[in-house]
Amino acid sequence: MLQWEKLGKLFDPREHKNHPWMREFAQSPSVLIFDEVIRVYFCSRPAPDESGQYKSYIAFIDLDRRTPTRVVRICDQPVMGLGGCGTFDEFGTNPVSVIRDENRIRAYYAGWTRCESVPFNAAIGVAISNNNGESFERIGEGPVLSYTPDEPFLLGSPRIRRFNDKWCLWYVAGKRWLKTSSRPEPVYKIRMATSSDGLIWRKAGVDLIEDKLGEDECQAGADVIERAGRFHMFYSYRRSQNYKGKEGGYRIGYAVSDDLVNWKRNDELAGMEVSAEGWDSEMVNYGHVFSLDGETYMIYQGNEMGRAGIGLARLQNSPDWFKP
């Protein structure tokens, strides 16, 4: 089993009052390493409107590379505005995953649109930064990955990686909507697509992770790294109802694969559990694993699906099956 040392909460927008568009939530952290700083992109929200509806924007903080728990900068404005009237990302850009592409940076993100019979729908878009990640521009007004006859409901939660010059995108595909006493709730599973250019995608067309909590289990945030000649996935899973507290809330799972398509689930090896108290005592979720100066870290979101902020953990052991 992996063993993680939790280094504490890094950032909570509720503690910074001068960014009204970043009032609460720090969701889906994604990291880029620079010479002096670690840039953490995440998604945040202003206060809900009069009808209780949220919007979501992409933001970033910079951490001191020598002291990764120290925030040295908070961005002054969203790195990208919302889409125009009627577009797929008119009401939100969340979650987000970033990656370098030669001298540019790409952001893969889910765009929200509001619906009448269900609360929202989502598809996946791409934006490009030519100024070292300070701001991003969409490649177009539409998504690069959207619902199709075989994936008819929402697509979201993108996580992008490149292996052997192949672009790999893990995402969630909605299976169905459940009618509950309060509002419809989606059931979604982790899937993947591959591409030679990161824009035109070929879907694998299968759910990658077997269910543990029954067929209505929700799975998301699949972050994949390569270690010891194998692929290792850290993902989040929860129940589809009563999931906003500790009992049914998100946990971090683990799976391993030799070919990126066939995965063996073994959540007990993940080693990342909720704390006894505090900001991550009900949920740990949307972990992003990265290497820095000989160490392995996981940055993740906490209670209430990131309303309580994001924190950092450092790997304490390296079993043979996980050595770099």
pLDDT tens digits along 165-202: 999 999 999 999 999 888 999 999 999 999 999 999 99
Q: Where are the domains of the chain?
A: 4-322
CB-side exposure of 296: number of CA atoms within 13 Å?
A: 17
* Per-residue confidence (pLDDT) for residue 55, from 0 to 100: 97
Token pair for 97: 């995953």
* Per-residue confidence (pLDDT) for residue 17, from 0 to 100: 85
Query: What is the Cα–Cα distance from 191 to 158, expressed in whole angstroms?
Result: 10
Q: Is the dihedral of CA 299, 300, 302, 307 positive or negative?
A: positive
Which residues of the chain have a pLDDT value below 50? none
* Per-residue confidence (pLDDT) for residue 181, from 0 to 100: 83
Q: Can you name the residues that pair with 203 across neighbouring β-strands?
A: 193
Cα-based distances in Å from 134 to 106, 184, 319: 12, 37, 37
* Per-residue confidence (pLDDT) for residue 170, from 0 to 100: 98
Query: What is the Cα–Cα distance from 200 to 215, expressed in whole angstroms?
Result: 30
pTM of the model as a whole: 0.97
Q: Which fold does the domain 4-322 belong to in CATH?
A: Tachylectin-2; Chain A (2.115.10)
In the block, which residue shows the tokens 């009032």?
Answer: 23
